[in-house]
Amino acid sequence: MSKSSYETIFENNKNWVESKISNNPTFFEELAKSQTPEYLYIGCSDSRATAEELMGAKPGEVFVHRNIANVVNSLDMSAASVVEYAVSHLKVKHIIVCGHYNCGGVKAAMTPQDLGILNPWLRNIRDVYRTHQAELDGIEDEGKRYDRLVELNVVEQCINVIKMACVQERYIMEEYPVVHGWVFDLRTGKIIDLEIDFEKVLKDIQKIYNLSEDEWVMSRRAH
């Protein structure tokens, strides 16, 4: 009887362990001690867009959170807890929000249909469409409009990350973390940096989302 794809996973794991130990006998001892990643990666759950592989990263180098369409919602305790832990405890230096072209979640948000439990989640992306409706409706090519919404969604989720208190507080004190917006192009395999002006976005946000008057004064002095 041939092995099922499920059984193959364990065979792959065994081979992976052996390859790591053959190159470094203490690899897993070192891995088990602690993690000190410089990056928090917030990406889509899509099976084609795996963080470590597309970044060429090793175990321990990237702290990862993934959900449908790489959404960061302040009411989502999972995403909020990940950001808080990464920023305040792991002391990551970079936060990356990475979307990808051909995203099923973004496509679903563009489709007028009832998707049940997905509706409130996709509403986050539909809100992005509403905010940028004039630009998006002006794009006649549906594929290009789809790609542009993927990009705009990444930018909006970056803004949601920058709104968070832990991000603002630590940046004021340490000038880290810096937030980046990426899109992974499944058609070419390349990462596209949307080149978000983090400091400008932060200053604009602090005019509205400042934590207190003292925090705002400190931020003005820092920049």
Active site residues: 44, 46, 48, 100, 103
Q: What angle separates helix 142-163 from helix 198-209, to the nearest 10 degrees?
A: 60
Q: Can you spell out the DSSP letters for 109-175?
A: HTS-S--TTHHHHHHHHHHHHHHTHHHHHT--SHHHHHHHHHHHHHHHHHHHHHHSHHHHHHHHHHS
Give first-to-last CA distance, the chain, whole Å: 66
Cβ-based neighbours of 218, under 8 Å, separated by 6 or more: 172
Residue 4 tokens read as 């099922």
Positive or negative, the CA dihedral 157, 162, 164, 167 is: positive
Between CA 196 and CA 155 the distance in angstroms is 7
Under a CB-based contact definition with an 8 Å cutoff, are residues 42 and 72 in contact? yes
